[in-house]
Structure 1
Amino acid sequence: MNEIIVAFPKKEIAINIRNILVRGGIDVYGVCTTGAQVLHMADTLDEGIIICGYRMQDMMYTDIREYLPKEFEILLVTSPDKWSDGSVQGVIGLSMPIKVHDLINTVEMMLQNMRRRRKKRHEAAKQRSPEEKALIAKAKSLLMERNNMTEEEAHRYLQKSSMDSGTNMLETAQMVLTIMDE
């Protein structure tokens, strides 16, 4: 996935950093010279990393951070005296002059953290509420009672039916209850 945007006021610098990342095996979504371009590009992504300098042509990195959704992080490449001791949420600093190795490793670390957060969000979305669990259990018990199934067979039946019909297990349990209650 290429969810990285490189943004510097001088296009040559942004292109050089993009080329370093690409040579390091990291895809780059785009290159920008203004904060407005960054925000426009970020609107097309769900999450990502913005690699930028301290000041763009139209705004500071803190302004960009403020307007970005929380799923984005900023890798700030600047001199240590302009780096604000890490107090800005979602901003990681890399001191100038940067070493290629440090840049690649930092971006890979940020990408790995982003993947980990994405996986956590996905797993959290999978968790069922107690009401949903109760509905599925009720459908299983109805299948067990009427069709002489074991609990495991009823569960497998719901799983297979949901896969075959292209619905989730909760919807399948609701269908089973609706059909068998008639």
Structure 2
Amino acid sequence: MKSGYQVDAVCTTGGQALQNVNALDGGILICGYRFADMMCSELQAYLPANFEMLLVGSQSNTMNRDVSDVVCLSMPLKVHELLQTVEMMAYTYEKKRKKRRAQPKERTEEEKKLILNAKKLLMERNQMSEEEAHRYIQKSSMDTGTSIVETAQMVLSLMSV
């Protein structure tokens, strides 16, 4: 905390750790090799995809581990080693989070059908091309701050009367 990192929870069991991470959007979980109720490999298996794990343990435990995609630090460690590792992990986590956000969300078949019906209605009633109807829905969505699906629903409800 003194170095500017937010600590959301301190846990003594793997169950507590899982309960806390499931209440959060993502982040870095720093843990030891063994909890009273589970090993770090079990914890890592149940960890949500939007979390990174930093394992701090003895050199034998961090070298001969049976988990993958985990950053390890061997004890004894210096504070600056821990901070540099957390900083590196936070940077990597932030890049992954931005990349996930940049990817368009996959629409359900219902949502695709709704958008298509709204475009068809605009094309019939206003003599628009499909591209113009799509641009209209997209621009209206941005102007009102709603999703394209919500805007398509509004178009259908307003124009179907």
Please indicate, yes or no, whether the TM-score normalized by the shorter chain is above 0.5.
Answer: yes
Q: 1:59 aligns to what? A: 38
* Inter-partner Cα distance in structure 1 for 2:46 and 2:60: 24
Query: In the aligned structure 2, how far is the partner of 1:51 from the partner of 1:177?
Result: 50
Q: Which one of the candidate residues 104, 107, 124 is aligned to 2:86?
A: 107
Whether 2:13 is the aligned partner of 1:34: answer yes
Cα RMSD of the aligned pairs, angstroms, is 3.5
Deviation string, structure 1 residues 117-145 (Cα, Å, up to 9, x no partner): 2212211135789xx99x989988x9799
- Which residue pairs with 1:77 in the alignment? 56
Measure how far apart 1:107 and its partner are: 0.8
Cα distance in structure 2, aligned partners of 1:74 and 1:174: 42
Change (3 A) 1:136 1:32: closer
- Could you list the runs of 5+ residues in structure 1 that have no partner in the other structure? 1-21
Determine whether 1:43 maps to 2:13: no
Counterpart in the other structure of 1:18: none
Moved more, 118-127 or 38-47: 118-127
- Tell me the equivalent position of 1:5: none
Q: Which runs of 5+ in 2 are unaligned?
A: none
> Retained in 2: the 8 A contact 1:49–1:75?
yes
Structure 2: distance between partners of 1:144 and 1:41: 50
Alignment: residue pair count: 161
- 1:68 aligns to 2:34 (yes or no): no
Report how far residue 52 of structure 1 moved.
Answer: 1.3
8 Å Cα contact 2:41-2:66 kept in structure 1: no
